[in-house]
Chains A and B, each alone.
Chain A
Amino acid sequence: MWSWILAYRNLGRNKRRSLATGLAIGAGFVGLLLISAYLYRAQLALQASTVYLNNKGHLALFKKDSIFEFTYRPSRYIITLDEQNKIAEILKDLDADIEFTGRYLTGTGLINNQTKSTPFIATAVEPEVYNRTLNHSEVNTWTPDWVFPETVAHAGKFIENPKLVSITESMAILIGKEPPFSKYNEDERNIQLIGKTFYGDLNAVDSELGLRHTTGMALAEDTSLVVSLSQLQALYATDGIQYWAIFLKDASNIKRVQKELQKKIKEKNINIDVYPYYDDEWGAYYVGSLGFLFVIACFFVVLICGAVVLSVVNTTTLGIFERHKEIGTLRATGFPPRAIYSLFWKENLILSLIALSAGYICAEWIASAVNAANIKFQPPGTQGDIRFVLITKIQITLALGFIVLLINFISTMIAVRRTTKANIVNLLSASGG
């Protein structure tokens, strides 16, 4: 107890210096917390967007090598009806973990408005699943800006009319049919989807403009089309699918469910691979975006930690320099080097805990203020604004607090190490303290 008292009182010896160090630690912690709050929010938004809006599911089942090869040779990499039946049986066994599943098919072609045509890259969805993903609570919580309210509200229309297609505003302009499509009569809403079947024949299906959506990415806005699975299957003359997405009840079970799925698929001897949404190949956008954000964040974290380290080392070194005689006296009265380490570490620990508490309150306040300000911005490459939201998480806060304490501990050790090993006579004859 004596050492805590001594440490606490020593902090008051040079109040301005302690305050300056405390501010450096506190400000550093605020910076780390706000970066983590932004990253956490971005990660959750990207995850919800990837899993639900981009239809990747938490896990996806593909034919081996299909991720890269399907576009070039779809007939070879399609999951056939027979294989789909086998997969359905496997998925039944994992019912406790699965919230719902969806079968998907993607492909290219032309959308034709009798007078104008433009290329499309279609995603074919099962109407019920499309409705479910767009209305999912994760989407509502984390990515409400990345989907039009009307898209969510009218998602169920696919169920009523599987011939409907959903196009982006850019594509609507390209074919000369600007939304809302309800202003056009039935004839005017009719369009044709034209494409080559998986067997090389030219084919077309009649569809109807009905819905509008956004991809959230500027590059994809000109070509994105969402259509019901049955429509696209009809266009490509197939009953196969490209992949089967699995949406889990609890995302933290991904690895376990993936393992179980792989095991069961192997037992059934089906040529299928299981990919999580964060797979480098399957979730390239998610992995790349998050990786980029982490690199930027790491840069700032290194800067902040460096500033905290330098500040603590500087203050502790000055404190030690001024207290050489006191340290010498303590050593002369029998204090071993580790007791001196401990004394300075406790001083910095008390200061850090006070600074971290203040930093936490400050960060929460800033996050609340930013969220309340409803700031919107357009990140590069995205379509439309998104809300700037900061969300702190207690586990991340505690982990960052621990990291700051660890940095502090190391900084203290760096500063104290030399002095505790110094000759006691030299310490006692120092002019400081």
Chain B
Amino acid sequence: MIVEVKNLYKTYELGETKIEALRGLNLSLAAGEFTALIGASGSGKSTLLNLIGCLDRPDQGEVVIAGQNTSTLTEDQLSEIRNLRIGYIFQAFNLVPVLSVFENVELPLVLRADVTPAQRKERVLRALDDVGLSTFVNHWPNKLSGGQRQRVAIARALVTEPSLILADEPTANLDSKTAHMIIDLLLEMNKKRNVTFLFCSHDEKLINRVQKIIRISDGKLI
């Protein structure tokens, strides 16, 4: 299993109000699975994604990524897990505006001492080629369309060759046509690179195209 979530609890405090986002949730994802996480707003989708992605810590329970329990790791160790094992695709693309397309994709690799500059360049160009942006290497993010920006973000998520890619509403900021193209691209990458995808979305048309759907309601899987 690439991801194992065991008895996960997460509560947020908003003033004096406590919101139980996850209540004893269990989940497993096998290598190469392409999974959609769906549920109503406030059901706990993003919280689950954040916990699996080591962006947040659970109140209780375990998140095991590629056999490693992340609950006990230090901040630096979690940073390493995020860099080596996990790729993120954000709803708002989250590209660094002062870096070119090439540099944005290169960003997660600059921390890797085991990747030489030549390997880095080769990997970035391959990732950009995979997402169809090989001719845009020197472009700036603000000169790209929304779909192109999201493809840069996908290339950035792929470039470290992670075992898991998490996407939080990756098509929410895109028009319908572009959204389908992005999902096609994600499916293609899933097959080509055998990487596990977990994404959350409200878009039923997109959800219908994935092989596995997980529904979440009130912090529990249903």
At the interface, yes or no: B25 with Cβ under 8 Å from chain A? no
Complex CA–CA separation, A333 to B107 (angstroms):
8
Which chain B residues lie closer than 8 Å to A334 at the CB level? 79-80, 82-84, 108, 111, 160
Does A424 contact B55, Cβ atoms closer than 8 Å?
yes
Complex CA–CA separation, A123 to B82 (angstroms):
81
CB-based nearest B residue for A429 = B46
CB-based nearest B residue for A10 = B98
A337 partner, pick from B75, B98, B106, beta carbons under 8 A: B75
At the interface, yes or no: A284 with Cβ under 8 Å from chain B? no
Given A424-B56, A425-B55, A428-B55, A336 contacting B76 (CB threshold 8 A): yes
At the interface, yes or no: A72 with Cβ under 8 Å from chain B? no
Complex CA–CA separation, A423 to B12 (angstroms):
13
A309-335 at interface with B (beta carbon < 8 Å): 325-326, 328-335
Closest Cβ of chain A to B129, distance in Å, is 20
Could you give, for residues 8-51 of chain A, a 1 whenever the CB lies within 8 Å of some chain B CB and a 0 otherwise? 01101100000000000000000000000000000000000000
At the interface, yes or no: A2 with Cβ under 8 Å from chain B? yes
At the interface, yes or no: A88 with Cβ under 8 Å from chain B? no
Does B94 contact A339, Cβ atoms closer than 8 Å?
no
Does A335 contact B79, Cβ atoms closer than 8 Å?
yes
CB-based nearest B residue for A13 = B98
Does B56 contact A423, Cβ atoms closer than 8 Å?
yes
At the interface, yes or no: A6 with Cβ under 8 Å from chain B? yes
Complex CA–CA separation, A321 to B80 (angstroms):
25
Does B96 contact A332, Cβ atoms closer than 8 Å?
no
Given A2-B103, A425-B50, A428-B94, A335 contacting B56 (CB threshold 8 A): no
Does A333 contact B156, Cβ atoms closer than 8 Å?
yes
Does A329 contact B94, Cβ atoms closer than 8 Å?
yes
Complex CA–CA separation, A95 to B185 (angstroms):
88
Which chain B residues lie closer than 8 Å to A329 at the CB level? 88, 90, 94, 96
Complex CA–CA separation, A9 to B103 (angstroms):
12
Which of A9, A334, A424 has the most chain B CB within a 10 Å cutoff?
Answer: A334
At the interface, yes or no: B53 with Cβ under 8 Å from chain A? yes
Does B53 contact A332, Cβ atoms closer than 8 Å?
yes
Does A326 contact B83, Cβ atoms closer than 8 Å?
no
Given A334-B83, A339-B111, A12 contacting B50 (CB threshold 8 A): no
Complex CA–CA separation, A10 to B98 (angstroms):
7
Q: How large is the interface on A (under 10, 10 to 19, 20 to 34, 35 or more residues)?
A: 20 to 34
Closest Cβ of chain A to B167, distance in Å, is 12
At the interface, yes or no: B110 with Cβ under 8 Å from chain A? yes
CB-based nearest A residue for B83 = A334
Closest Cβ of chain B to A332, distance in Å, is 5
Which chain A residues lie closer than 8 Å to B82 at the CB level? 331-334
Could you give, for residues 47-81 of chain B, a 1 whenever the CB lies within 8 Å of some chain A CB and a 0 otherwise? 00010010110000000000000000001100110
Complex CA–CA separation, A346 to B58 (angstroms):
34
Tell me the interface secondary structure of chain A in the complex.
helix
At the interface, yes or no: B31 with Cβ under 8 Å from chain A? no
Given A332-B82, A334-B82, A425-B55, A326 contacting B94 (CB threshold 8 A): yes
Complex CA–CA separation, A299 to B90 (angstroms):
51
Could you give, for residues 149-168 of chain B, a 1 whenever the CB lies within 8 Å of some chain A CB and a 0 otherwise? 00000001000100000000
Could you give, for residues 329-370 of chain A, a 1 whenever the CB lies within 8 Å of some chain B CB and a 0 otherwise? 111111111010000000000000000000000000000000
Closest Cβ of chain A to B70, distance in Å, is 13
Which chain A residues lie closer than 8 Å to B160 at the CB level? 334
Complex CA–CA separation, A13 to B140 (angstroms):
14
Which chain B residues lie closer than 8 Å to A423 at the CB level? 55-56
Could you give, for residues 88-122 of chain B, a 1 whenever the CB lies within 8 Å of some chain A CB and a 0 otherwise? 10101010111100010011101100000000000
Which chain A residues lie closer than 8 Å to B75 at the CB level? 336-337
B98 partner, pick from A12, A330, A339, A425, beta carbons under 8 A: A12
CB-based nearest B residue for A333 = B108
Which chain A residues lie closer than 8 Å to B108 at the CB level? 333-334
Closest Cβ of chain A to B51, distance in Å, is 9
Closest Cβ of chain A to B15, distance in Å, is 16
CB-based nearest B residue for A424 = B55
Complex CA–CA separation, A9 to B104 (angstroms):
13
CB-based nearest A residue for B74 = A336
Given A331-B79, A333-B82, A336-B76, A428 contacting B90 (CB threshold 8 A): yes
Which chain B residues lie closer than 8 Å to A333 at the CB level? 82-83, 88, 107-108, 156
Does A336 contact B56, Cβ atoms closer than 8 Å?
no
Complex CA–CA separation, A337 to B74 (angstroms):
12
Complex CA–CA separation, A3 to B110 (angstroms):
9
Given A9-B99, A428-B55, A2 contacting B79 (CB threshold 8 A): no
Closest Cβ of chain A to B42, distance in Å, is 14
Closest Cβ of chain A to B210, distance in Å, is 23
CB-based nearest B residue for A9 = B98
Complex CA–CA separation, A425 to B156 (angstroms):
19
Complex CA–CA separation, A325 to B90 (angstroms):
11
Complex CA–CA separation, A9 to B96 (angstroms):
11
Known: A326-B94, A334-B83. 20 other contacts (CB 8 A): A2-B103, A6-B98, A9-B98, A9-B99, A12-B98, A13-B97, A13-B98, A328-B94, A330-B107, A332-B53, A333-B107, A334-B79, A334-B82, A334-B111, A335-B111, A336-B80, A337-B76, A424-B56, A425-B55, A428-B94
List residues of chain A with CB under 8 Å of any chain B CB. Answer: 2-3, 5-6, 9-10, 12-13, 325-326, 328-337, 339, 423-425, 428
28 contacts between A and B (CB under 8 A): A2-B103, A2-B106, A2-B107, A2-B110, A12-B98, A13-B97, A13-B98, A326-B94, A328-B94, A329-B90, A329-B94, A331-B79, A332-B53, A332-B55, A333-B107, A333-B108, A333-B156, A334-B79, A334-B80, A334-B82, A334-B111, A335-B79, A336-B76, A337-B76, A339-B111, A424-B50, A425-B56, A428-B94
